[in-house]
Amino acid sequence: MNNRAENKTINLSHGSGGLMMRKLLNDVIFKAFDNKYLNRKHDGALVKLTGEIAVSTDSFVISPIFFKGGDIGELAVNGTVNDIAMCGAIPRFLSLSFIVEEGLGLESLIRIVNSVKTAAKNSGVRIITGDTKVVEKGKGDKIFINTTGIGEVHPKANISSEKIKPGDKIIVSGCIAQHGMAIMSQRKGMEFEADIKSDTTNLNFLVKDILDAFGSKIHLLRDPTRGGLAAVLHEIAEDTQTGITIYENKLPLEKQVAAACEILGIDPIFVANEGIFVAIVDSDITDDLVELMIQKEKGKNTVCIGEISQDHPGKVVMHSSIGGKRIVSPPIGEQLPRIC
Protein backbone atom coordinates (compact mmCIF):
# COMPACT_ATOMS: atom_id res chain seq x y z
CA MET A 1 0.00 0.00 0.00
CA ASN A 2 1.35 3.40 -0.87
CA ASN A 3 0.56 6.44 1.22
CA ARG A 4 -2.06 7.69 -1.23
CA ALA A 5 -3.97 4.47 -0.99
CA GLU A 6 -3.73 4.42 2.81
CA ASN A 7 -5.54 7.73 3.02
CA LYS A 8 -8.52 6.40 1.13
CA THR A 9 -11.80 5.26 2.50
CA ILE A 10 -13.94 2.34 1.39
CA ASN A 11 -16.68 3.32 -1.05
CA LEU A 12 -19.38 1.45 -2.95
CA SER A 13 -17.00 0.85 -5.88
CA HIS A 14 -14.93 -1.41 -3.64
CA GLY A 15 -17.86 -3.81 -3.57
CA SER A 16 -18.89 -3.43 -7.18
CA GLY A 17 -17.16 -6.48 -8.60
CA GLY A 18 -15.13 -4.20 -10.88
CA LEU A 19 -11.53 -3.04 -11.00
CA MET A 20 -11.66 -1.24 -7.65
CA MET A 21 -12.82 -4.38 -5.93
CA ARG A 22 -10.23 -6.51 -7.66
CA LYS A 23 -7.51 -4.09 -6.58
CA LEU A 24 -8.74 -4.16 -2.98
CA LEU A 25 -8.77 -7.96 -2.95
CA ASN A 26 -5.35 -8.28 -4.56
CA ASP A 27 -3.65 -5.50 -2.58
CA VAL A 28 -5.17 -6.22 0.81
CA ILE A 29 -6.87 -9.59 1.19
CA PHE A 30 -4.93 -12.03 -0.99
CA LYS A 31 -1.66 -10.36 -0.05
CA ALA A 32 -2.36 -10.86 3.64
CA PHE A 33 -3.58 -14.45 3.51
CA ASP A 34 -1.26 -15.78 0.85
CA ASN A 35 -1.77 -19.59 0.83
CA LYS A 36 -2.21 -22.31 -1.79
CA TYR A 37 -5.93 -22.77 -1.10
CA LEU A 38 -6.83 -19.11 -1.44
CA ASN A 39 -4.47 -18.42 -4.28
CA ARG A 40 -6.48 -20.65 -6.60
CA LYS A 41 -9.06 -17.87 -6.50
CA HIS A 42 -11.97 -20.24 -6.99
CA ASP A 43 -15.43 -19.46 -5.72
CA GLY A 44 -14.78 -22.03 -3.02
CA ALA A 45 -11.84 -23.92 -1.53
CA LEU A 46 -10.85 -27.53 -2.02
CA VAL A 47 -9.37 -29.11 1.13
CA LYS A 48 -8.58 -32.56 2.44
CA LEU A 49 -9.59 -33.62 5.95
CA THR A 50 -9.74 -36.96 7.68
CA GLY A 51 -12.19 -38.39 10.19
CA GLU A 52 -15.03 -36.57 11.92
CA ILE A 53 -15.27 -32.88 11.10
CA ALA A 54 -16.49 -29.97 13.20
CA VAL A 55 -17.97 -26.90 11.48
CA SER A 56 -19.00 -23.64 13.12
CA THR A 57 -20.00 -20.21 11.85
CA ASP A 58 -20.27 -16.90 13.65
CA SER A 59 -20.83 -13.23 12.79
CA PHE A 60 -18.97 -10.50 14.61
CA VAL A 61 -20.63 -7.15 15.21
CA ILE A 62 -18.98 -4.97 17.80
CA SER A 63 -18.62 -1.33 18.73
CA PRO A 64 -15.96 -0.02 19.04
CA ILE A 65 -14.19 -2.13 16.39
CA PHE A 66 -10.82 -1.43 18.02
CA PHE A 67 -10.72 -1.94 21.77
CA LYS A 68 -8.24 -2.48 24.58
CA GLY A 69 -6.75 -5.92 24.09
CA GLY A 70 -7.86 -6.51 20.51
CA ASP A 71 -10.09 -5.66 17.58
CA ILE A 72 -12.94 -7.13 15.57
CA GLY A 73 -10.55 -8.99 13.26
CA GLU A 74 -8.80 -10.85 16.03
CA LEU A 75 -12.17 -11.56 17.64
CA ALA A 76 -13.57 -12.98 14.41
CA VAL A 77 -10.77 -15.52 14.19
CA ASN A 78 -10.50 -16.42 17.87
CA GLY A 79 -14.26 -16.67 18.28
CA THR A 80 -14.70 -19.29 15.59
CA VAL A 81 -11.44 -21.09 16.42
CA ASN A 82 -12.73 -21.42 19.99
CA ASP A 83 -16.15 -22.62 18.85
CA ILE A 84 -14.44 -25.40 16.90
CA ALA A 85 -12.21 -26.19 19.88
CA MET A 86 -15.28 -26.44 22.14
CA CYS A 87 -16.46 -29.30 19.92
CA GLY A 88 -13.28 -31.14 20.90
CA ALA A 89 -11.78 -30.49 17.48
CA ILE A 90 -8.53 -29.09 16.09
CA PRO A 91 -9.36 -26.02 13.96
CA ARG A 92 -7.77 -26.15 10.47
CA PHE A 93 -9.49 -23.75 8.06
CA LEU A 94 -11.54 -20.57 8.18
CA SER A 95 -13.68 -18.67 5.72
CA LEU A 96 -13.72 -14.91 6.09
CA SER A 97 -16.51 -12.61 4.98
CA PHE A 98 -16.45 -8.82 5.37
CA ILE A 99 -19.45 -6.52 5.15
CA VAL A 100 -17.91 -3.06 5.11
CA GLU A 101 -19.79 0.20 5.53
CA GLU A 102 -19.01 2.87 2.97
CA GLY A 103 -16.69 5.40 4.59
CA LEU A 104 -14.55 3.04 6.64
CA GLY A 105 -10.93 4.11 6.37
CA LEU A 106 -8.85 1.79 4.22
CA GLU A 107 -6.23 2.00 6.91
CA SER A 108 -8.70 0.55 9.42
CA LEU A 109 -9.56 -2.28 7.05
CA ILE A 110 -5.87 -3.06 6.56
CA ARG A 111 -5.35 -3.02 10.33
CA ILE A 112 -8.23 -5.47 10.77
CA VAL A 113 -6.99 -7.72 7.96
CA ASN A 114 -3.56 -7.80 9.58
CA SER A 115 -5.15 -8.75 12.91
CA VAL A 116 -7.01 -11.56 11.18
CA LYS A 117 -3.74 -12.69 9.65
CA THR A 118 -1.88 -12.70 12.98
CA ALA A 119 -4.72 -14.37 14.88
CA ALA A 120 -5.04 -17.07 12.20
CA LYS A 121 -1.31 -17.71 12.29
CA ASN A 122 -1.30 -17.89 16.08
CA SER A 123 -4.19 -20.37 16.01
CA GLY A 124 -2.70 -22.52 13.28
CA VAL A 125 -5.62 -22.04 10.90
CA ARG A 126 -5.68 -20.93 7.27
CA ILE A 127 -8.08 -18.51 5.64
CA ILE A 128 -9.14 -20.46 2.58
CA THR A 129 -12.12 -18.61 1.13
CA GLY A 130 -13.93 -15.37 1.68
CA ASP A 131 -16.11 -12.53 0.47
CA THR A 132 -16.24 -8.75 0.67
CA LYS A 133 -19.37 -6.63 0.36
CA VAL A 134 -19.73 -2.88 0.75
CA VAL A 135 -22.99 -1.38 2.03
CA GLU A 136 -24.11 2.26 1.87
CA LYS A 137 -23.19 4.65 4.67
CA GLY A 138 -25.66 4.23 7.52
CA LYS A 139 -26.56 0.66 6.57
CA GLY A 140 -23.81 -1.02 8.58
CA ASP A 141 -21.73 -0.27 11.64
CA LYS A 142 -18.27 0.25 10.10
CA ILE A 143 -17.59 -3.44 9.53
CA PHE A 144 -19.21 -6.80 10.17
CA ILE A 145 -17.20 -10.02 9.85
CA ASN A 146 -18.45 -13.56 9.42
CA THR A 147 -16.12 -16.50 9.83
CA THR A 148 -16.80 -20.19 9.36
CA GLY A 149 -14.37 -22.70 10.79
CA ILE A 150 -13.64 -26.30 9.93
CA GLY A 151 -11.70 -28.62 12.21
CA GLU A 152 -10.89 -32.27 12.77
CA VAL A 153 -12.25 -33.85 15.91
CA HIS A 154 -9.52 -34.86 18.36
CA PRO A 155 -9.13 -38.66 18.32
CA LYS A 156 -9.55 -38.92 22.11
CA ALA A 157 -12.44 -36.46 22.36
CA ASN A 158 -15.96 -37.50 23.19
CA ILE A 159 -17.67 -34.24 24.01
CA SER A 160 -21.35 -34.67 24.72
CA SER A 161 -23.76 -33.19 27.22
CA GLU A 162 -25.25 -36.67 27.60
CA LYS A 163 -22.14 -37.68 29.52
CA ILE A 164 -22.71 -35.11 32.27
CA LYS A 165 -23.57 -36.77 35.58
CA PRO A 166 -23.95 -35.74 39.24
CA GLY A 167 -20.56 -35.28 40.86
CA ASP A 168 -18.90 -33.90 37.73
CA LYS A 169 -16.88 -30.77 38.39
CA ILE A 170 -17.18 -27.39 36.71
CA ILE A 171 -13.88 -25.83 35.71
CA VAL A 172 -13.35 -22.27 34.45
CA SER A 173 -10.10 -21.61 32.60
CA GLY A 174 -9.60 -17.96 33.57
CA CYS A 175 -10.94 -14.70 34.95
CA ILE A 176 -14.50 -13.80 33.96
CA ALA A 177 -16.08 -10.64 32.55
CA GLN A 178 -12.92 -9.10 31.09
CA HIS A 179 -14.02 -8.73 27.47
CA GLY A 180 -17.42 -7.26 28.26
CA MET A 181 -16.05 -4.75 30.75
CA ALA A 182 -13.18 -3.76 28.41
CA ILE A 183 -15.75 -2.95 25.71
CA MET A 184 -18.03 -1.17 28.15
CA SER A 185 -15.17 0.96 29.48
CA GLN A 186 -14.63 2.31 25.96
CA ARG A 187 -18.24 2.81 24.90
CA LYS A 188 -19.17 6.40 24.09
CA GLY A 189 -20.56 8.21 27.06
CA MET A 190 -19.29 5.63 29.44
CA GLU A 191 -15.53 5.78 29.09
CA PHE A 192 -13.92 5.20 32.46
CA GLU A 193 -10.30 4.98 33.39
CA ALA A 194 -9.49 1.34 33.81
CA ASP A 195 -6.75 -0.83 32.49
CA ILE A 196 -9.14 -3.63 31.61
CA LYS A 197 -8.19 -5.49 28.45
CA SER A 198 -10.31 -7.89 26.47
CA ASP A 199 -9.28 -11.48 27.05
CA THR A 200 -9.75 -12.42 23.37
CA THR A 201 -7.41 -15.26 22.52
CA ASN A 202 -7.38 -18.70 20.95
CA LEU A 203 -8.04 -21.61 23.26
CA ASN A 204 -7.49 -24.47 20.83
CA PHE A 205 -4.01 -25.41 22.02
CA LEU A 206 -5.05 -25.47 25.67
CA VAL A 207 -8.07 -27.60 24.73
CA LYS A 208 -5.80 -29.94 22.72
CA ASP A 209 -3.51 -30.30 25.75
CA ILE A 210 -6.31 -31.35 28.07
CA LEU A 211 -7.84 -33.67 25.47
CA ASP A 212 -4.42 -35.28 24.93
CA ALA A 213 -4.14 -35.86 28.67
CA PHE A 214 -7.69 -36.67 29.73
CA GLY A 215 -9.60 -37.59 26.56
CA SER A 216 -13.18 -38.63 27.18
CA LYS A 217 -13.05 -37.64 30.86
CA ILE A 218 -13.71 -34.13 29.53
CA HIS A 219 -17.48 -34.30 29.21
CA LEU A 220 -18.38 -30.87 27.89
CA LEU A 221 -16.60 -27.70 26.76
CA ARG A 222 -18.27 -24.32 26.26
CA ASP A 223 -16.95 -20.79 25.83
CA PRO A 224 -19.06 -18.31 27.78
CA THR A 225 -19.20 -15.40 25.33
CA ARG A 226 -22.41 -13.31 25.15
CA GLY A 227 -24.53 -13.77 28.27
CA GLY A 228 -21.41 -14.72 30.21
CA LEU A 229 -20.91 -17.60 32.58
CA ALA A 230 -24.54 -17.46 33.75
CA ALA A 231 -25.93 -18.06 30.26
CA VAL A 232 -23.71 -21.07 29.59
CA LEU A 233 -24.32 -22.71 32.96
CA HIS A 234 -28.04 -22.13 32.68
CA GLU A 235 -28.13 -23.66 29.20
CA ILE A 236 -26.24 -26.72 30.41
CA ALA A 237 -28.52 -27.17 33.42
CA GLU A 238 -31.66 -26.77 31.35
CA ASP A 239 -30.53 -28.93 28.42
CA THR A 240 -29.31 -31.79 30.61
CA GLN A 241 -31.85 -31.35 33.42
CA THR A 242 -29.08 -31.61 35.97
CA GLY A 243 -28.51 -29.22 38.85
CA ILE A 244 -25.53 -26.91 38.86
CA THR A 245 -24.04 -25.59 42.08
CA ILE A 246 -21.39 -22.88 42.02
CA TYR A 247 -19.64 -20.91 44.75
CA GLU A 248 -19.41 -17.11 44.55
CA ASN A 249 -16.10 -16.98 46.42
CA LYS A 250 -14.48 -19.35 43.88
CA LEU A 251 -15.30 -17.24 40.81
CA PRO A 252 -12.06 -15.92 39.29
CA LEU A 253 -12.41 -12.16 38.92
CA GLU A 254 -9.75 -9.50 38.51
CA LYS A 255 -9.95 -6.64 41.00
CA GLN A 256 -10.32 -3.96 38.33
CA VAL A 257 -13.10 -5.88 36.60
CA ALA A 258 -14.85 -6.46 39.92
CA ALA A 259 -14.64 -2.75 40.72
CA ALA A 260 -15.98 -1.71 37.30
CA CYS A 261 -18.90 -4.14 37.63
CA GLU A 262 -19.58 -2.78 41.10
CA ILE A 263 -19.68 0.83 39.93
CA LEU A 264 -22.12 0.04 37.12
CA GLY A 265 -24.27 -2.34 39.14
CA ILE A 266 -23.56 -5.18 36.72
CA ASP A 267 -23.20 -8.81 37.76
CA PRO A 268 -19.93 -10.21 36.31
CA ILE A 269 -21.43 -13.65 35.70
CA PHE A 270 -23.62 -12.09 32.99
CA VAL A 271 -20.76 -10.28 31.25
CA ALA A 272 -19.22 -11.54 27.97
CA ASN A 273 -15.88 -13.33 27.80
CA GLU A 274 -13.72 -14.15 24.76
CA GLY A 275 -10.73 -16.00 26.17
CA ILE A 276 -11.94 -18.57 28.66
CA PHE A 277 -13.87 -21.80 28.59
CA VAL A 278 -15.99 -23.85 30.94
CA ALA A 279 -15.26 -27.56 31.18
CA ILE A 280 -17.53 -30.11 32.82
CA VAL A 281 -15.24 -32.99 33.76
CA ASP A 282 -15.20 -36.28 35.59
CA SER A 283 -14.51 -35.58 39.27
CA ASP A 284 -11.61 -38.13 39.24
CA ILE A 285 -9.45 -35.86 37.10
CA THR A 286 -10.27 -32.49 38.71
CA ASP A 287 -7.02 -31.92 40.58
CA ASP A 288 -4.78 -33.20 37.79
CA LEU A 289 -6.65 -31.18 35.19
CA VAL A 290 -6.42 -27.95 37.18
CA GLU A 291 -2.74 -28.67 37.85
CA LEU A 292 -2.07 -29.12 34.13
CA MET A 293 -4.03 -26.05 33.09
CA ILE A 294 -2.48 -23.62 35.58
CA GLN A 295 0.94 -24.46 34.16
CA LYS A 296 -0.14 -23.06 30.76
CA GLU A 297 -0.18 -19.31 30.19
CA LYS A 298 -3.78 -19.28 28.95
CA GLY A 299 -4.99 -21.45 31.81
CA LYS A 300 -3.01 -19.97 34.68
CA ASN A 301 -6.15 -18.76 36.49
CA THR A 302 -8.02 -22.05 36.13
CA VAL A 303 -10.25 -22.91 39.04
CA CYS A 304 -12.97 -25.37 39.94
CA ILE A 305 -16.08 -23.28 40.63
CA GLY A 306 -18.62 -25.95 41.47
CA GLU A 307 -20.22 -29.23 40.58
CA ILE A 308 -23.14 -30.99 38.98
CA SER A 309 -25.67 -32.09 41.55
CA GLN A 310 -28.73 -34.27 41.78
CA ASP A 311 -30.66 -31.48 43.46
CA HIS A 312 -32.59 -28.70 41.71
CA PRO A 313 -32.53 -30.22 38.17
CA GLY A 314 -32.48 -27.63 35.40
CA LYS A 315 -31.35 -24.85 37.72
CA VAL A 316 -28.13 -23.08 38.63
CA VAL A 317 -27.71 -22.30 42.33
CA MET A 318 -24.99 -20.02 43.60
CA HIS A 319 -23.78 -20.17 47.20
CA SER A 320 -23.08 -16.56 48.14
CA SER A 321 -19.92 -15.59 49.96
CA ILE A 322 -21.94 -14.83 53.11
CA GLY A 323 -23.49 -18.28 53.28
CA GLY A 324 -26.76 -17.68 51.42
CA LYS A 325 -28.04 -19.34 48.28
CA ARG A 326 -29.67 -17.98 45.17
CA ILE A 327 -30.89 -19.11 41.80
CA VAL A 328 -28.90 -17.86 38.81
CA SER A 329 -31.38 -17.08 36.04
CA PRO A 330 -30.46 -16.67 32.40
CA PRO A 331 -29.76 -13.10 31.31
CA ILE A 332 -32.76 -11.43 29.67
CA GLY A 333 -31.07 -8.93 27.39
CA GLU A 334 -28.13 -6.60 27.28
CA GLN A 335 -26.73 -5.68 30.70
CA LEU A 336 -27.80 -2.13 31.42
CA PRO A 337 -26.38 0.01 34.21
CA ARG A 338 -28.84 0.94 36.92
CA ILE A 339 -30.17 4.40 37.66
CA CYS A 340 -28.76 4.61 41.16
Partner 1 sequence: MKYLNEYRNLEATNRWLNLIHKTITRNWNIMEVCGGQTHSLVRNGILELLPEKVRMIHGPGCPVCVTPLNLIDKAVELLENNVIVCSFGDMVRVPGSKKSLMQAKANGGDLRILYSPLEAVDVARENPQKQVVFFAVGFETTAPANALSVLQAKEKGLKNYSLLVSHVLVPPAMEAILKDELCKVNAFLGAGHVCTIMGLGEYYPLSAKYKIPIIITGFEPVDLVQGIYMAVNQLEKGIFEVENQYARVVKKEGNLAAKNLINIVFRVGSRQWRGIGEIPDSGYVLQDEFNEFDAELKFGIRHIQVPENKTCIAGEILKGIKKPYECNQFGKNCSPVNPLGAPMVSSEGACAAYYHFTNTV
**Binding residues for partner 1 (CB under 8 A):** 189-190, 255, 258-259, 262, 265, 267, 319-329, 332-333, 336-340
The SS3 of residue 236 is helix
Measured CA to CA, the distance from residue 117 to residue 32 in angstroms comes to: 6
Residues 6+ apart with CB under 8 A from 85: 91, 151, 202, 203, 204, 207, 208, 221, 277
Q: Is 290 helix (H, G, I), strand (E, B) or coil?
A: helix
**Residue number, 49 or 190, with CB nearest to partner 1:** 190
Given the complex with partner 1, which of 295 and 321 has the nearer CB atom? 321
Q: How far is the CB of 313 from partner 1 (least distance, A)?
A: 13
Report whether 100 contacts 24 (CB < 8 A). no
| Residue with Cβ nearer partner 1 (51 or 323) | 323
Least spacing, CB of residue 242 vs partner 1, in Å: 18
Number of neighbours of residue 6 by Cβ within 10 angstroms: 11
CB of 267 to partner 1, least distance (A): 8
Is the CB of residue 85 less than 8 Å from the CB of residue 91? yes
**CB of residue 246 to partner 1, shortest distance in Å:** 13
Half-sphere exposure of 309 (CA within 13 A, CB side): 12
CA proximity to 145, closest of 112, 97, 102: 97
Q: How far is the CB of 231 from partner 1 (least distance, A)?
A: 13
Of 18 and 337, the one with the shorter C-beta distance to partner 1 is: 337
**In angstroms, rounded to a whole number, what is the distance separating the alpha carbons of residues 272 and 229?**
8
For the CB of residue 330, give the shortest distance to partner 1 in the complex, in Å: 9
Smallest gap from Cβ 315 to partner 1, in A, equals 9
279 near 218, Cβ under 8 Å? yes
State how far the Cα of 154 lies from the Cα of 51, in Å rounded to an integer: 9
| Cα–Cα distance measured from residue 159 to residue 71, given in angstroms and rounded to the nearest whole number | 30
Exposure of 271 by Cβ count < 10 A (0-12 exposed, 13-18 middle, 19+ buried)?
A: buried
Q: Is 218 helix (H, G, I), strand (E, B) or coil?
A: strand
- Minimum CB distance to partner 1, residue 63 (Å): 13
C-alpha closest to that of 203 among 182, 248, 162, 172: 172
Closer residue to partner 1 (CB): 55 or 259: 259
